[in-house]
Amino acid sequence: MIDHSLLRPDLAADAITHGCKEAIDYNFISVCVNPAHVELAAQLLNGTNVRVCSVVSFPFGLSTTDAKVMEAKIALSQGAKEIDMVMNYSALRSGQLHSVEEDIRRVVDAAKAHHKDTIVKVIFENCYLTERQKVDACTTAVQAGVDFVKTSTGFGAGGATVEDVRLMKRTVGPKIGVKAAGGIRTLEQALQMVDAGATRIGTSSSVSIIEALK
């Protein structure tokens, strides 16, 4: 269930290499990397069960839709199997739901055109949203065809909360996944998110969480 997060901007190539080795050793479902590291991660993980997940328009979500689509296409062409795109939550907060849906849908369409099994997650950055806006984000993302909704980038003013995960799971229903990310550093926190309905956990503390589980 763990997306092993390797997203800090100061990570050098040796840290990406080490993180990919950890993902193989601990059987994480993916490594989540910035676009500049997709090619390296794909080379390192080739022939393994660990997928490469690339973020798109990270961490603010304010790239143009055309730029998001192109960023996703490039990442997929370099070996990414999953895309974590950041929602334009400025537009969401402005009540521009049609614009938000179109932004997400175009990335989803591009990803599915590359390969029908490509997984697309959309990141909300819940710390900046009201409860009503979180619900609107969920319904809009589902209408746009996403596979997962995700709580946070981990770079905002707050991260995942149990309450948000419950709300998101209740809103999207059983067919759409919920990824809890941002501030999850302990086994107890991870299990609380799973109990609340999370089907993926995004964390950079993956190894220590699994060691605690052992």
Task: Exactly one of 84, 103, 147, 164 is catalytic; name it.
Answer: 84
Residues of the domain holding 74: 2-213
Total domains, the chain: 1
By percentage, how much of the chain surpasses pLDDT 70? Answer: 100
Which position among 121, 150, 164, 169 bears the catalytic label?
Answer: 150
Is 134 part of the annotated catalytic residue set?
Answer: no
Q: Can you give the pLDDT at residue 124? A: 98
Can you spell out the DSSP letters for the chain? -EEEEE--TT--HHHHHHHHHHHHHTT-SEEEE-GGGHHHHHHHHTTSSPEEEEEESTTT--S-HHHHHHHHHHHHHTT--EEEEEP-HHHHHTT-HHHHHHHHHHHHHHHHHH-TT-EEEEE--GGG--HHHHHHHHHHHHHHT-SEEE---SSSS----HHHHHHHHHHH-TTSEEEEESS--SHHHHHHHHHHT-SEEEES-HHHHHHHH-
CATH number for position 8? 3.20.20.70
pLDDT at 184: 98
Q: What is the pTM of this model?
A: 0.97
Q: What is the pLDDT of residue 61?
A: 98
Q: Is 84 a catalytic residue?
A: yes
Q: Using one digit for the tens of pLDDT, what is the confidence trace for 139-172?
A: 999 999 999 999 999 999 999 999 999 999 999 9
Which entry of 68, 81, 134, 179 is annotated as an active-site residue? Answer: 179
Look up 179 and say whether it is catalytic.
yes
